[in-house]
Amino acid sequence: MQVVSQNRSFGGEQTVYSHQSETCGCEMTFAVYLPPQAHNGPVPVLWYLSGLTCTHENAMTKGGFQEAAADFGVAVIFPDTSPRGTDVADDDAYDLGQGAGFYVNATRDPWRAHFRMYDYIVNELRDIALKNMPVQDCHGITGHSMGGHGALTIAIRNADMFGSLSAFAPIAHPTQSDWGRKQLSSYLGDDESSWAEHDSTLLLEEYGWKGDLLIDQGANDQFLDLLKPEALANMMAKRRQPGQIRIQQGYDHSYFFVNSFARDHVAWHAERLS
Amino acid sequence: MQVVSQNRSFGGEQTVYSHQSETCGCEMTFAVYLPPQAHNGPVPVLWYLSGLTCTHENAMTKGGFQEAAADFGVAVIFPDTSPRGTDVADDDAYDLGQGAGFYVNATRDPWRAHFRMYDYIVNELRDIALKNMPVQDCHGITGHSMGGHGALTIAIRNADMFGSLSAFAPIAHPTQSDWGRKQLSSYLGDDESSWAEHDSTLLLEEYGWKGDLLIDQGANDQFLDLLKPEALANMMAKRRQPGQIRIQQGYDHSYFFVNSFARDHVAWHAERLS
């Protein structure tokens, strides 16, 4: 692992690392914020998965998670959103290929050689964090848009690994959205039965979530038709899933929205991980 | 004035405007954050002046001022750092020309046609804010690096306009620094007597500041030799200037540093402007 950059932030350290990923077969970059409490011993860790077009950097610089993470003594890991590099398959569209890994393990060419973000997060990056950083094996997960989809699907399928779960404007029902059908068919093929385990509304229907959920969604989000929060809200109510969906008046899909509720989410996770 | 973008942020509105500037003779862009309290009547305003290479956008997205501004009911204005455009003079160096206005009124060619950031901030943009936004004629000013220089020099020279003053890692003694001598000679000419009114250490010596000062400076700042905080610290002590210089252990020159202390500065100004 190589240190790409390191900056003091709210008394802790914001570090960017690069490493050769066995899972993705390429060099990967991720960021970790360690709060000042990490000097005194391992701290719980919150995973933040980013949305389409993002790298590890967007939320690290614009999300505003560090202040609350320092207040509550939680580490935050910001993975990249896909494998990268000239040897890695890509597509001209912003919503497929590099920057758009969708947190699945691709099974179709040309994607399957590198696009294994599901395994990368759940296994490789978790192991790296536990071996190299002062973090407890005690994880919360959140994310924005495609990253909200990643957080919900990864946590529900790995409930033993995650103690808390939230999302910002998640792609909530990708099997019924143009943000989903295109990517799932490209990465997984046309057999839609293989898609269900990557759809948080369907996963919630089948498994529920062991704890309570926090979902924030801007009422003025320009992508509401693609995100389909109504499917998730319907399923939560139908399944009597504890938690809350907050429709936030006036907010759009930007990092100004994420930033405005970052503290709420860090506090939510800290309370449930402690 | 045209609205370039508008995003809800911490219950308020983060807006970017463009307008044809009479002072600079070109189209200028600036950002304004209005806290939710502005719905109930005019609020005090904090000016944030940015550093070399920045536009209005860097601090708006990475500074983290909105949360505290919403908590304290303060507006924040983020001006650009220079005139811009293909008709505007420029230089290949990052620290001269566009992105590097240094908050002076240039008197030398090729700069004097457009580079009038001092008048732009003090007169034109103040008038625009007072006429078009729910802000009181009650101003604080801060800034980072070149913008810290701008804040200190503009406030000390216009003490009737500003009620509070702070800075993050300001260029504190530009007449004796390569961040200063190059720009002041280019914009104002080689007669160094014209430079003194753009050097906060010299201005402080002559006029002092009517209130107390807050200066934050990272101990690991990679530009300490250019910033010369020791000159300002010396002058503050020598002149018995009320205020504090805080040397912050481990912090560098980045926005991670600014972000970490943004709340302190907003609170400082809010207390003095109320």
Task: Please tell me the distance from the alpha carbon of residue B216 to that of residue B168, in angstroms, as a whole number.
Answer: 5
**How much is the ipTM here?**
0.89
Q: Chain A interface, mutation test: which of B5, B6, B7, B32, most A Cβ atoms within 10 Å? A: B7
B8, A218: Cβ pair inside 8 Å? yes
Enter the DSSP assignment of A23: T
Query: From edge to edge, which strands make up the β-sheet containing B2-9?
Result: B2-9, B12-21, B26-34, B75-79, B43-49, B135-143, B162-168, B213-218, B243-248
A180 to chain B nearest CA, in Å?
26
Across the interface, whether the CB atoms of A7 and B64 are under 8 A apart is answered no
Residue of A nearest to B258 (CA): A9
Residue in A14, A251, A263 nearest the CB of B8: A251
Rounded to whole angstroms, the Cα distance separating A204 from A201 reads 5
Q: What tokens appear for A66 in the block?
A: 């560090």
Which tokens belong to B132? 């078009």
The answer to whether A37 contacts chain B (CB < 8 Å) is no
- pLDDT digits 0-9 by tens, B35-59: 999 999 999 999 999 999 999 999 9
Mutate to test the interface with A, among B16, B60, B61 (most CBs of A within 10 A): B61
Q: Does A264 touch chain B (CB under 8 A)?
A: no
Phi first, then psi: give them for residue A154, nearest 5 degrees: -65, -45
Are the Cβ atoms of B61 and A62 closer than 8 angstroms? yes
| A264 → chain B, closest CA residue | B10
Give the per-residue pLDDT at B274.
Answer: 87
Does A3 reach chain B within 8 Å, measured CB to CB?
A: no
Interchain contact A67–B (C-beta under 8 A): yes
Contacts of A2 (CB under 8 A, 6+ apart): A17, A18, A19
Which residues are CB-neighbours of A144 under 8 A, at least 6 positions away? Answer: A48, A49, A50, A51, A59, A167, A168, A169, A170, A258
- Within its chain, how far is the Cα of B42 from the centroid? 22
Q: B48 CB contacts (<8 Å, ≥6 apart)?
A: B59, B63, B65, B76, B77, B78, B142, B143, B144, B147
Which of A9, A14, A248, A265 to probe by mutation at the B interface, max B CB count within 10 Å? A9
* Structural contact between residues A263 and A68, judged by C-beta atoms closer than 8 angstroms: yes
Look up the pTM and report it. Answer: 0.93
Q: Does A58 touch chain B (CB under 8 A)?
A: no
Say yes or no for a CB contact (<8 Å) between A254 and B7. yes
B253 is catalytic: yes
* Residue A259 in contact with partner chain B when CB distance is under 8 A: yes
| Cβ pairs A/B, distance under 8 A | 68
* B261 to chain A: closest CA residue: A10
Which residue stretches of chain B are H helix? 57-62, 66-72, 117-119, 126-132, 146-157, 178-188, 200-207, 224-227, 229-238, 255-273
Q: Which one is catalytic: A144, A253, A265, A269?
A: A253
SS3 letters across A46-75: EEEECCCCCCCHHHHHHCCCHHHHHHHCCE
* Contact yes or no for B151/B200 (Cβ under 8 A): no
CB nearest to A259's CB, from B9, B11, B218: B9
Give the whole-angstrom CA distance, residue A169 versus residue A175.
16
CATH fold for domain A2-273: Rossmann fold (3.40.50)
* B58 in contact with A, Cβ within 8 Å: no
Which residue's structure tokens are 């002076």? B104
Nearest chain B CA: its distance from A223 CA (Å): 15
Scanning every residue of chain B, which has its alpha carbon at the shortest distance from the alpha carbon of A250? B8
Return the ∠ at Cα A61 (arms to A232 and A99), rounded to 5°.
55
Segment holding A192, helix H or strand E: none
Query: A224: which 2 tokens?
Result: 């509401």
| Alpha carbon distance B239, B233 (integer Å) | 10
Q: For B63, name the nearest residue in chain A, comparing CA atoms only.
A: A62
Cross-chain residue pair A255–B61, CB shorter than 8 Å:
yes
**Residue ranges of chain A with pLDDT lower than 50?**
none
Count CA within 13 A, CB hemisphere, residue B158. 19
Nearest CA in chain A to B66: A260
Low-confidence ranges of chain B (pLDDT < 70): none
Asked whether B187 and B111 are in contact (CB, 8 A), the reply is yes
- What ranges do the domains of chain B cover? 2-273
**Residue A260 designated active-site:** no
Given the residues A166, A199, A221, A265, the one annotated as active site: A221
Cβ atoms of residues A202 and A231 within 8 Å: no
